[in-house]
Structure 1
Amino acid sequence: MFKKTSTFLLVTALLVGLSLNTSTVNASRNKKLISNMVTKKISADGLTSALAKVPGYSNPLISHKFGADPFAMVYNGRVYVYMSSDSFEYKNGSIADNDYQNIKTVSVISSSDMVNWTDHGEIPVAGANGVAKWAANSWAPAATHKVINGKEKFFLYFANNAGSIGVLTADSPIGPWTDPIGQPLITKGTPGCNVEWLFDPAVFIDDDGSAYLYFGGGIPGGQNPSQAQIANPKTARVIKLSSDMTHTVGSAVTIDAPFMFEDSGIHKYNGKYYYSYCSNFSGNHPYGAPPKGDIAYMTSNSPMGPFTYQGTFLKNPGNYFGVGGNNHHAIFQFNNQWYVVYHAQTLGKAMGITKGYRSPMINKVSFSQSGAINNVIEDMQGVPQIANLNPYIRNEAETIGWNAGISTEKCQAPGAMVSSVNLDVTSISNGDWLAVSKADFGSGAKSFKANIASTVGGKIEIHLDSADGPAIGTLNVSSTGGAQQWRLMQCNVQSIRGVHNVFFKFTGNSSQNLFNMDYWQFVK
């Protein structure tokens, strides 16, 4: 292992948050990450510095790992974001450009307040260790929920690279997931679906319970498409789904989206259906056409069209963050506010590695009186927190507002929402920390407890409002005899009142992982 200095810390690339997975492919990928170090800054006081998402800001949503092609689903007072699991690829021992070929899992995070996000790990979708063993990849997921035969069911749609689209089902938004049909839901043999790219699905359930899937992309004409093919690719599609959400009904309908490239999106506002997409990067884009790599939109009075082009609302992230790439989005409403989730290379930029590894971002969406979508301002500040965190219930340690130096992994202790799906915080070194935003302590707390596993031990210093703010208690962590041998530990704290950011600062003398943290809770 490596010793910290006053300026830099050499740590594994796990510190960008690529957590251990159940699939052999992802496990071997992360072992490779352990042997490839990245350099992280250490502040003058010895604290590990935050990357990309700094205290007070809410973008990117997570900074302990990547996540691309985000799609948001609102359920039971939470926003669930499903993402392609971007992770470093290597060539000759160096980090290579992201070619998406190793993406076989879907990452899931959720939040009830838009700042503190819980990491639910990765769904093993494709490949020999995946749920859908027929699939090679799991790109650009979309999710929804519906009551089927009196029971709430969840549906995850994903692209098997550009060749087909599959569907998984579960009884909770985080799994465990199954493959209900054992084959693709949509192929080029599906009526009306013979397009260049069968990917980037977006799912929509209308007010009457009817469901639709939007997908497609690419430009016809091979390596040398004509300007007419570039301007009107006619590769976007919409198809109706069966009542069980796992089969299609009839033939797909073409959406004639100008300069269509990829990234279908759909939402309904004031009775109108809004289809949105990423414009292509080819040919000439004349005045009135969507600029290259922007998110454009069309409207219709019907979920299956015809749609009429209206304009653009989300510029390519390169316009705001200084590093571009492809553009991917999803519009959603939560607590009477409209948002757009999209990706940008903000974490990669903070690391100095802009090779196509993307992170999820959220900003507000607004509409004009005529129903036009106003241009979205993309920034690192992000959106305000809409609810305080309750510190008196079980809070998963992987619920993170901000962090520095930590990672997450699959945990053997039972989970809170689903017993078989749980993560813990790991890769903890001296000076690392994690924090939650705006915890409401009300009239006061007297003690703190946490579920810990450790072979080494250390301390958890509890600070208010900043990593070097007032310390109100210290939990002494002793060895439990194993990295997955769990024990509930407790300490007293000074009386805490009101609303505070809470920083858990980790300290210890060993160069090994000090301990793992499953969940925590304050006691009144």
Structure 2
Amino acid sequence: MNKSTLALALTLASSLLAPSSQAQTLLSKNFSADPSPHYFKGKYYVYATDDQNNSGNKWDSTSWRLLTSSDLKQWEDKGPFLPATVFKWAAAGANAWAPEAMEYKGKYYFFAPVNQTQIGLAVSDSPDGPFVDALGKPLVDKARDANAGDEPIDPAVFMDADKRIYMYFGTRVPKVVELAPDMRGTVGPIRDVAVSGFPAASKPYGEAPFLHQHKGVYYFSFSTGWPGQIVYATGKSPLGPFSYKGVLIDYLKISTNHHAILEQDGKTLLFYHDNMLPGGGSHKRSILVQEIRYDADGNMLR
């Protein structure tokens, strides 16, 4: 099967199985999860957890995976492009969980949770790598930093219009910390993110925080747990507080729900993972993308 035929087959298959009214595209025939999507140098990049090479029984991958595309339809799976061993301070066999990336002042930064207790920062001159440890120590460390929470994992980075950069992370209680302008550390304390107005039937925050802005409104979205829905709340500041608005992705038939949103060329693109490939499941996930829209009141629609 050639690449064009495979891409069409994957797109059609995912559309038939979709719980949404919008067409979906499956990014790879290999297992990957926890997407971090970006548009760098005229190309789409998705940094991901490498489910293809885990045991299938745990989230025990030790590398991160990279997927790229020029048109959101044809995707190249570049495989495991970065091992957790890039961080020499990390414990031997450290797990490589949901990553994040950003371009800043001509450099490409890679935010990487390891050991379930630390977030590392790597840097490169190219979005493809090679990446090297930027600090020689963790950016966030549960044992070192006050209010780092139960698990400093799932980093998501947002740059506001004033160029201040915020990193969101954590399980059970969402956290946010400002990053230094030189990307050499953090500024000020780690804060809790306040979200109010949960419906009585809804679970509270669980993991996988994400922030994006649309028409001046800050959208804070996250998973409600294990299993969980992806829900979202809105606010007037990247620091919150945020008010609950609704569900973006309902419960899946796997134990995690993790997403990210990329606004590019007038489109809002939702990336997330699900069980879409033969042999898949809670530890062998697959990444999809679809376009979403907003109604007149700013509600997100799939």
| Corresponding letter in the other structure for 2:192 | T
Q: 2:234: which partner in 1?
A: 299
Q: CA deviation at 1:53?
A: 6.5
Uncovered stretches (5+) of structure 2, i.e. residues with no partner: 13-23, 199-203
Alignment equivalent of 2:269, drawn from 339, 361, 370 = 339
| Corresponding letter in the other structure for 1:304 | L
| Corresponding letter in the other structure for 1:264 | P
Q: CA deviation at 1:245?
A: 2.2
How has the CA–CA distance of structure 1 residues 55 and 307 changed in structure 2, closer, same or farther, with 3 Å as cutoff? closer
Q: CA deviation at 1:88?
A: 5.0
How has the CA–CA distance of structure 1 residues 56 and 236 changed in structure 2, closer, same or farther, with 3 Å as cutoff? closer
Q: 2:117: which partner in 1?
A: 163
Q: 2:132: which partner in 1?
A: 178
How has the CA–CA distance of structure 1 residues 265 and 190 changed in structure 2, closer, same or farther, with 3 Å as cutoff? farther
**Residues 478-489 of structure 1 aligned to structure 2 (within 5 Å):** none
How many aligned residue pairs are there? 280
Alignment equivalent of 1:264, drawn from 209, 213, 227 = 209
Q: 2:188: which partner in 1?
A: 250
Question: With structure 2 as the length reference, what TM-score do the two structures score?
Answer: 0.86
Q: 1:200: which partner in 2?
A: 154
1:100 to 2:63 alignment: no
| Corresponding letter in the other structure for 2:218 | Y
Q: CA deviation at 1:333?
A: 1.0
| Aligned residues of 1:79 and 1:334 also touching (Cα < 8 A) | no
| Aligned residues of 2:232 and 2:245 also touching (Cα < 8 A) | yes
Q: 2:285: which partner in 1?
A: 358
| Aligned residues of 2:10 and 2:25 also touching (Cα < 8 A) | no
Question: Quick one: distance in 2 between partners of 1:244 and 1:198?
Answer: 22
Question: Quick one: distance in 2 between partners of 1:193 and 1:74?
Answer: 32
Q: CA deviation at 1:51?
A: 7.9
| Aligned residues of 1:187 and 1:193 also touching (Cα < 8 A) | no
1:82 to 2:12 alignment: no
Uncovered stretches (5+) of structure 1, i.e. residues with no partner: 1-46, 91-95, 219-234, 282-291, 377-524
| Secondary structure of the structure 2 residue equivalent to 1:54 | helix
| Corresponding letter in the other structure for 1:124 | L
Q: 1:217: which partner in 2?
A: 171
Q: 1:118: which partner in 2?
A: 76
| Aligned residues of 1:120 and 1:174 also touching (Cα < 8 A) | no
Q: CA deviation at 1:208?
A: 2.0
Q: CA deviation at 1:111?
A: 1.2
Q: CA deviation at 1:81?
A: 0.3
1:372 to 2:270 alignment: no
| Aligned residues of 2:7 and 2:74 also touching (Cα < 8 A) | no
| Secondary structure of the structure 2 residue equivalent to 1:260 | coil
| Secondary structure of the structure 2 residue equivalent to 1:119 | strand
| Secondary structure of the structure 2 residue equivalent to 1:251 | strand
Q: 1:62: which partner in 2?
A: 28
| Aligned residues of 1:53 and 1:62 also touching (Cα < 8 A) | no
| Secondary structure of the structure 2 residue equivalent to 1:134 | coil
Q: CA deviation at 1:355?
A: 5.1
| Aligned residues of 1:53 and 1:60 also touching (Cα < 8 A) | no
Q: Give me the identity figure in percent.
A: 32
Q: 2:87: which partner in 1?
A: 132
| Aligned residues of 1:73 and 1:79 also touching (Cα < 8 A) | yes
For residues 110-144 of structure 1, what are the alpha-carbon distances to aligned partners after superposition, in whole Å with 9 as ceiling and x for unaligned?
Answer: 11210111233323331xxx211222122100111
**C-alpha RMSD of the superposition:** 2.3
Question: Quick one: distance in 1 between partners of 2:99 and 2:177?
Answer: 17
How has the CA–CA distance of structure 1 residues 272 and 55 changed in structure 2, closer, same or farther, with 3 Å as cutoff? closer
How has the CA–CA distance of structure 1 residues 187 and 55 changed in structure 2, closer, same or farther, with 3 Å as cutoff? closer
| Secondary structure of the structure 1 residue equivalent to 2:135 | coil
Question: With structure 1 as the length reference, what TM-score do the two structures score?
Answer: 0.51
Question: Quick one: distance in 2 between partners of 1:170 and 1:104?
Answer: 20
For residues 366-386 of structure 1, what are the alpha-carbon distances to aligned partners after superposition, in whole Å with 9 as ceiling and x for unaligned?
Answer: 111111212x2xxxxxxxxxx
Q: CA deviation at 1:89?
A: 4.8
Q: CA deviation at 1:314?
A: 1.4
Question: Quick one: distance in 2 between partners of 1:308 and 1:55?
Answer: 37
Alignment equivalent of 1:308, drawn from 222, 227, 243 = 243
Question: Quick one: distance in 1 between partners of 2:28 and 2:134?
Answer: 31
For residues 190-216 of structure 1, what are the alpha-carbon distances to aligned partners after superposition, in whole Å with 9 as ceiling and x for unaligned?
Answer: 554331111000011112211110001
| Corresponding letter in the other structure for 1:138 | A
How has the CA–CA distance of structure 1 residues 51 and 249 changed in structure 2, closer, same or farther, with 3 Å as cutoff? same
